Amino acid sequence: MTVFIGGTEITDIQIGSTAINSVYVGANKVWDRVTSLDTQTVTVGEYISGSNPNLRGYGFGPTTGGSISDGTSNMYSGAAYYTIDTLIDLSNGLGWLVQLIINGTQPNSGWTTMTIDGVAFDRADISFHSVSSGKTYWVWGDSPRPQTNPFGTTAGITKQVVFT
């Protein structure tokens, strides 16, 4: 269950320096602390196609560049992240496509949400999960695609990617 103050979701409750993990109203639990399974720090790289400048990408991966730390997945026994990025074709107006690619053959399970700089992408809402050529994809690309890019468009800044 989520709790909001105004439009802001509460993600941390402390009494003094003591973290509170659950909140009850009477006998009813109304809030649980969400525990991160894995947190990655992405230094954003930028890709602009030489042949089609409308095709752009931001984040980490072999095309966008950028970097990731520590780069290994706690959900999948230390498998390396291959790509976490966002893509757009400015000419079609569809918005941003988001992709997560991890090395190896990985099951479509083990986590619920990937949050990039506070923007959540639920595994239940993927367009597809696929396994191809030794890599595993999770792609959010069906309409409606996000109209804003959680990585931003400035290369060199860092963004946190949190898996819960």
**Given the rule CB under 8 A, which residues bind another protein?**
55, 57, 61-63, 82-83, 87, 97, 99, 101, 108-109, 124-132, 135, 137, 139, 141-142
Q: Which residue number, 83 or 149, has a Cβ lying nearer to another protein?
A: 83
Which amino acid is located at 137 in the chain? Y
Closest distance between another protein and the C-beta of residue 4, in Å?
22
Q: Which residue number, 76 or 82, has a Cβ lying nearer to another protein?
A: 82
Closest distance between another protein and the C-beta of residue 162, in Å?
20
Closest distance between another protein and the C-beta of residue 9, in Å?
21
Q: What tokens does 129 get?
A: 């999960």
Q: Which residue number, 23 or 139, has a Cβ lying nearer to another protein?
A: 139
The DSSP code sequence of 110-164 is S-SEEEETTEEEEGGG-SEEEEETTEEEEEE-SSSPPSS-TT-S-TT-EEEEEE-
Buried/exposed code over 83-96 (b: 16+ C-beta within 10 A; e: otherwise): bbbbbbeeeeeebb
